[in-house]
Amino acid sequence: MENIIEVKNLSKKYQDFELKDISFEIPKGMIMGFIGENGAGKTTTIKAILNTIKKDQGEIKIFGLDNKIGEEKIKEDIGVVLDDAFFPEILLPNDINSIMKDVYQNWDSSLYFKYLNDFSLPKNKPMKTFSKGMRKKLEIATCLAHHPKLLILDEPTSGLDPVARSEVIDIFQDFIQNEECSILLSSHITSDLEHIADYITFIHQGEILLTKTKDELMEQYGIVKCSEEDFQKISAKDRIRYKKNKYDYEILVENRKEFSKKYHMDVIDRITLEDLMVFMIKGVK
């Protein structure tokens, strides 16, 4: 399967933070959910992929091209929504259309204004009058209006109400239907990723802890609740993380069926991505 993004051994060191040997791939036609707590390294990784920060080492390819050497060619086919950057607040949506026509060869004004209408956004009001949710919708309209092949999205649904989030998620799903386009989607709203992601990459303290298909995580991983007596019978190699509660233990396991067969425990709960994050960050290894 052809990869849209390939990140290999990416490292970046700051005074108080370090990305350590980051590697993952996003196949064509797929959505990668990128999760981790605040400060885990998601935004730093995205900025390295976009070549807006200089990496210390590693290799990043987009569409098979080095992200630095092929930057000019690559940027035409990437749509970006960042959590901390957009146009000056004095601009009107009409101004953005005028600006972007000179930035992207494939800028589609009719598509841009269609998204503005779909999102019920005014064309002639300055962005400083927009709510956070309205600004986010404007960013999404802008990133889609030049017909990109790859979307790189950092918290694209933050600030949106549930109805608007659902609308945006539908747009992202439509975006990949031709199986030629891909999305890297960083989000704290894990329920959104459970609906649309094909793969999940989890980063913690600058390191990738896992990268797997979402179906593998949701179908195979599980949470076991048991007494201390039963906990002592479970081999350390059969648990990923565990939490000790007041009256029992909770254990994150990698394969519910195999664990049940080995330890004769029939009640093993399925996990959510939120469960996964909590166990991987707070649980004991």
What is the structure's pLDDT at 227?
92
What is the structure's pLDDT at 85?
66
Where residue 120 falls (left for φ over 0; alpha for ψ -120 to 50; beta otherwise) is: left
Domains of the chain by residue range: 3-214, 221-282
Phi, psi of 275, rounded to the nearest 5 degrees: -55, -45
pLDDT tens per residue, the chain (285 residues)? 799 999 999 999 999 999 999 999 999 999 999 999 999 999 999 999 999 999 999 999 999 999 988 888 899 999 999 876 678 889 999 999 999 999 999 999 999 999 999 999 999 999 999 988 899 999 999 999 999 999 999 999 888 889 889 999 999 999 999 888 999 999 989 999 999 999 999 999 999 999 999 999 999 999 999 999 999 999 999 999 999 998 999 999 999 999 999 998 888 999 999 999 999 999 998
What secondary structure letter does DSSP report for 164? Answer: H
Nearest in space to 285 (alpha carbons), one of 247, 253, 240: 240
CATH class of 3-214: alpha beta
The packing angle between helices 132-144 and 162-175, to 10°, is 10
What is the structure's pLDDT at 275?
94
Tokens 């993952």, located at residue = 24
CB-count exposure of residue 124 (10 Å: 0-12, 13-18, 19+):
exposed
The per-residue b/e assignment along 215-243, b for 16 or more CB within 10 angstroms, e otherwise, is: eebbebbbbbbbeeebbeebeeeebbbbb
State pTM to two decimals.
0.92
